[in-house]
Amino acid sequence: MPENMLGNIFVHSFIFAAFMSDSLYNNEVAFELQPKKIDEARQGETLTLERPQHVISNGKKFYIESYGCQMNFSDSEVVASILAGAGFDSTSDFYEADLILINTCAIRDNAEQRIRHRLQHLNAVKKKKKASLVGVLGCMAERLKDKFLEEEKIVDIVCGPDAYRALPSMVEEAETGQKAVNVLLSREETYAEINPVRLNSNGVSAFISIMRGCDNMCAFCVVPFTRGRERSRNWKSIVNEAKELYERGYREVTLLGQNVNSYRFSEDEKLVGKKLVDAKYDESVVNFAKLLELVAQVAPDLRIRYSTSHPKDMTDDVLHVMAKYPNICKYIHLPVQSGSSRVLDAMNRTYDRSWYLNRIAAIRNILPDAAISTDIIAGFCSETEEEHQETLSLMDEVKYEMAYMFFYSERPGTVAAKKFKDDIPEDVKKRRLQEIVDMQMKHSLIRNQQDVGKTYEVLAEGVSHRSSEHLFGRNTQNKVVIFPKGNIQIGTYVQVKVTECTAATLKGEVVS
């Protein structure tokens, strides 16, 4: 593997892909089999939409491309909606654009390097078309603030994740030749009433952002600094969005947030900030278990998924609601990060190995058929060989269906960067990561083999990229299943009997 290999590797029961520099999968199947969290095939995706008819065009076009996690893609939909409301039209050709926006990710160094390469490329566009403004949005904008303007001369606008409503006025400011920066983080902003556009979707599954920010302060993570304090969106606007999507033919929604299980909303004005966190049992408070139930009641054939859960907040009441509603998918992403209690403590994850395994036991007990996936970081500061072995032994005990695996990348400003030395040599980090990946591959295959012979309800999501005679969809466990197309319509449910598998995919035949 080249020296500059990116640190991110994930293995799905259906995918195995190592990402190198900017190249995407060379495995054709991987495209359709993407798990939905950090969708590598969507990196750099552009978004176009029609301006609402009642809004008069301002004669300008914007182009937006997105990087990073699903939250960023969801945010780009909000940005597109705000700009369309201000009279902008959109384009998928940046040579045509008056405003070029890049929604950025800062989670690991390689994510930032990718954006910097992209900006170099856009420099050429700007030379050709001097009037174009270039704006950076999202986490990297928030992390670098006006330093971005010094480091990347091409940039005219720097806009943090809580300032998107100000974008139209920032564009006006930049048009006068000033550089425009707004990186104020908010304690309230949830963009609750902004109806995101969904034009690049498959018309079957959509994401609904239910909260923003994160209060957890994991030592390695930049998110609390780039996305600010945790705040939950009004549950009524979430339920309405789910209803609207259902009426438009969508059959699956994924509730999104950095830590959805700590969702908490109350309309009682007395319960703001910390008081809301403490008011666990106040009747006016809608917690995540209640929210899940409210969204599940929108329609029995609307599937509900959610991501991501922090183990400390994965309570039994959430598991019981999942068990009660067949339309809440039996799939849980529960990032462990490390199998060593000492490393978990250094990471400030606020749980230890036995607490985590207790949560896994609760899932197995309440939801025996649930699939479980995780995130793992190899080579965190001071991790010993024995502690790395503890991660492997935890994996062996849980046998995850899927994992997103990374080697540790120090992020400036984080607790770990301030307190600890990034002292595991890169070759050791990569070797440990490879051992983790190899083990996950084994487990993904075992888990898939257990599915052969079983029949699953699958939501048909699209045509297989390998064969136009086949469709693909996912079962409740989030496993992608390939099956013959026949007369099946995309967006409908089918019963598929699994007949064969690899570590990367399930294949089957339609039985009804």
Task: Give me the residues that bind ligand SF4 (CB under 6 A), please.
Answer: 214, 216-218, 221, 223-224, 258-259, 310
Q: How far is the CB of 214 from ligand SF4 (least distance, A)?
A: 3
Q: Which does 108 bind (CB under 5 to 8 A by kind): ligand SF4, ligand SAM, none?
A: ligand SAM
Q: Is 259 in the site for ligand SAM (CB under 6 A)?
A: yes
| Closest to ligand SF4 by CB, 126 or 333 | 333
Q: CA 12, CA 441: separation in Å to the nearest integer? A: 8
Helices (H), 14-146: 28-32, 70-85, 109-128, 138-144
Q: Could you identify the residue written with the tokens 């106040």?
A: 282
Q: Identify the three-state secondary structure at position 147.
A: helix
Q: How far is the CB of 409 from ligand SF4 (least distance, A)?
A: 13
Q: How far is the CB of 225 from ligand SF4 (least distance, A)?
A: 9
DSSP state at residue 198 = -
Within 282-441, strands assigned E span 286-287, 303-307, 331-333, 371-378, 402-407
Q: How far is the CB of 372 from ligand SF4 (least distance, A)?
A: 17
Q: Is 69 in the site for ligand SAM (CB under 6 A)?
A: yes
CA distances to 25, 208, 359, 400, 461 from 332, rounded to whole Å, are: 25, 17, 11, 10, 20
Q: Is 490 in the site for ligand SAM (CB under 6 A)?
A: no
Return the structure tokens found at 447.
Answer: 């888990």
Q: How many CA atoms lie within 13 A of 473 on its CB side?
A: 32
Q: How far is the CB of 398 from ligand SAM (least distance, A)?
A: 15
Q: Total number of residues binding ligand SAM (CB under 6 A)?
A: 18
Contacts of 176 (CB under 8 A, 6+ apart): none
Which helix (DSSP H) or strand (DSSP E) does residue 11 occupy? strand 8-11
Options 59-67, 141-149, 267-275, 405-413: segment touching ligand SAM (CB under 6 A): 405-413
Contacts of 270 (CB under 8 A, 6+ apart): none
Q: How far is the CB of 412 from ligand SF4 (least distance, A)?
A: 15
Q: CA 185, CA 75: separation in Å to the nearest integer? A: 15
Q: How far is the CB of 106 from ligand SAM (least distance, A)?
A: 9
Q: Could you identify the residue written with the tokens 């970081």?
A: 377
Q: CA 136, CA 159: separation in Å to the nearest integer? A: 6
| Closest to ligand SAM by CB, 199 or 217 | 217
Q: State the Rg of the chain over Cα.
A: 22
Return the structure tokens found at 407.
Answer: 């080697």
| Closest to ligand SF4 by CB, 235 or 406 | 406
User: Mask: binding to ligand SAM, 117-136, rule CB under 6 A, as x and -?
Assistant: --------------------
Return the structure tokens found at 262.
Answer: 């700590």
Contacts of 160 (CB under 8 A, 6+ apart): 137, 138, 141, 142, 145, 182, 183, 184, 185, 226
Q: Is 344 in the site for ligand SAM (CB under 6 A)?
A: no
Options 219-227, 297-305, 431-439, 476-484: segment touching ligand SAM (CB under 6 A): 219-227
Site for ligand SAM in 377-396 (CB under 6 A): 377
At 466, phi and psi to the nearest 5? Answer: -90, -35
Site for ligand SAM in 298-337 (CB under 6 A): 308, 310, 335, 337
Tell me which amino acid residue 164 is.
Y
Interface residue with ligand SAM among 409, 440, 464, 476 (CB under 6 A) is: 409
Q: How far is the CB of 510 from ligand SAM (least distance, A)?
A: 35
Options 184-192, 340-348, 361-369, 408-416: segment touching ligand SAM (CB under 6 A): 408-416
Please return the burial class of 386, using the count of CB atoms within 10 Å of its CB with bins 0-12, 13-18 and 19+: exposed
Q: How far is the CB of 503 from ligand SF4 (least distance, A)?
A: 27
| Closest to ligand SAM by CB, 125 or 428 | 428
| Closest to ligand SAM by CB, 258 or 266 | 258
Q: How far is the CB of 305 from ligand SAM (least distance, A)?
A: 15
Q: How far is the CB of 442 from ligand SAM (least distance, A)?
A: 20
Q: How far is the CB of 216 from ligand SF4 (least distance, A)?
A: 4
| Closest to ligand SF4 by CB, 78 or 218 | 218
C-alpha dihedral (348, 354, 358, 364), degrees to nearest 10 = 110
Q: Is 107 in the site for ligand SAM (CB under 6 A)?
A: yes
Q: Which does 406 bind (CB under 5 to 8 A by kind): ligand SAM, ligand SF4, none?
A: ligand SAM
CA distances to 31, 35, 504 from 467, rounded to whole Å, are: 13, 20, 16
Return the structure tokens found at 203.
Answer: 């018309």
Q: Which does 190 bind (CB under 5 to 8 A by kind): ligand SAM, ligand SF4, none?
A: none
Q: Which does 224 bind (CB under 5 to 8 A by kind): ligand SAM, ligand SF4, none?
A: ligand SF4
Q: Provide the sign of the torsion angle of the four alpha carbons 83, 86, 92, 98, taken in this order.
A: negative
Interface residue with ligand SAM among 221, 285, 295, 403 (CB under 6 A) is: 221
Please return the burial class of 383, using the count of CB atoms within 10 Å of its CB with bins 0-12, 13-18 and 19+: buried
Where do contacts with ligand SAM occur on this chain (CB under 6 A)?
69, 107-108, 220-221, 223, 258-259, 308, 310, 335, 337, 375, 377, 406, 408-409, 411
